[in-house]
Amino acid sequence: MVALVALGHAQGRLCGELAAAIARFLTRGDQEAGPGMQGASYYHESEPTLEEATRILKDLGLVRPVPRADKPDETWYCRHALTVDAQAMPDALALAISATDERLLTSFLALACGYDGLSSERTPFTPATEYKAAMRALARAGYAQSVGSAFRWTDQVATAMRQVDAWDEQGRCIASLREQERLAQADAAWRSMPETIRRTHFAKRPMRLVPVVEALTMSWRDGAWHPIDREPPPAPAGQIALARRLIDLAQGRA
């Protein structure tokens, strides 16, 4: 019985690790109590992903609205504070939850992968220190696989990854697909580049990013070079990344 109480439910502990990672992310800007500490506060600013994370933590009793100093009977809608230290959340939820709360998994992925650089790719990756405990818990639950000191996502996480628009219906990482498309587009642009643009923007050193972006905006549309348009339509997303790739190709770094 002592061992059971000490360990609690594995699913609850997973939820606790995810909640702790979310709490640390949300409160990383707190300069008073400190990130992840009881009383640390943050504003979700009505941003949907942060608002949903707050709603989940509030349902679990891990955050509460901060009272307004000017109106003691009211609380701030956007500002919340942790009711418990993040490091205590795994033990607390291990004893309180017996099944995985999929909302926590989805919220964790939306924040960590969407905002904080945690990889959503299918290849092995090494997470930042603040996410290692959560990744170990996800690996124990089958959502990830340990690969030495790194981790790889498994098919078990596919539903949650699709919900946060990180994977497509075939389980492919959307960021990877976009990167492959960008590289292919840059290679095509480099091979078919008019000599005038090549001499103007890529024959000189150092190469400057802004003029290359401007050249792309005025001349590169729908996968092909066109006569210069001094009043081009709005540039599609990814022009800066495409320009950087072209500079890498010109400098032989690709």
Three-state secondary structure call for residue 134? helix
Predicted confidence at residue 5, as pLDDT, reads 36
How do residues 168-225 score in pLDDT, each as one tens digit?
999 999 999 988 998 999 999 999 999 999 999 998 888 899 999 999 999 998 889 9
Confidence of residue 40 (pLDDT cuts 50, 70, 90): very high
* Residue whose structure tokens are 């891990």: 62
Confidence of residue 19 (pLDDT cuts 50, 70, 90): very high
Average pLDDT (10-27) is 96
Considering only CA atoms, give the Rg of the chain. 24
Predicted confidence at residue 229, as pLDDT, reads 83
- Taking the CA of residue 254 as centre, how many other CA atoms within 13 Å lie in the half-sphere pointing to its CB? 16
Predicted confidence at residue 6, as pLDDT, reads 42
Report pTM.
0.82
Average pLDDT (114-137) is 97
Confidence of residue 70 (pLDDT cuts 50, 70, 90): confident
In angstroms, the CA 38 to CA 78 distance is: 18
Beta-carbon contacts of residue 91 (< 8 Å; ≥ 6 apart): 8, 13, 16
Is the pLDDT assigned to residue 144 strictly greater than 90? Answer: yes
Is the pLDDT assigned to residue 147 strictly greater than 70? Answer: yes
* Residue whose structure tokens are 């003691």: 72
Predicted confidence at residue 66, as pLDDT, reads 94
Within 10 angstroms of residue 167's Cβ, the number of other Cβ atoms is 26
Confidence of residue 155 (pLDDT cuts 50, 70, 90): very high
| CA torsion through residues 185, 187, 191, 194, sign | positive
Contact criterion met (CB below 8 Å) for 84 and 92: yes
Q: Report helix angle 10-26 to 89-96, nearest 10.
A: 140
Angle at 154 between CA 163 and CA 130, to 5 degrees: 80
In angstroms, the CA 160 to CA 152 distance is: 15
Mean pLDDT (the chain) is 91
Average pLDDT (55-71) is 94
CB burial class (10 A; 0-12, 13-18, 19+) of residue 142?
A: exposed
Is the pLDDT assigned to residue 86 strictly greater than 60? Answer: yes
Confidence of residue 1 (pLDDT cuts 50, 70, 90): very low
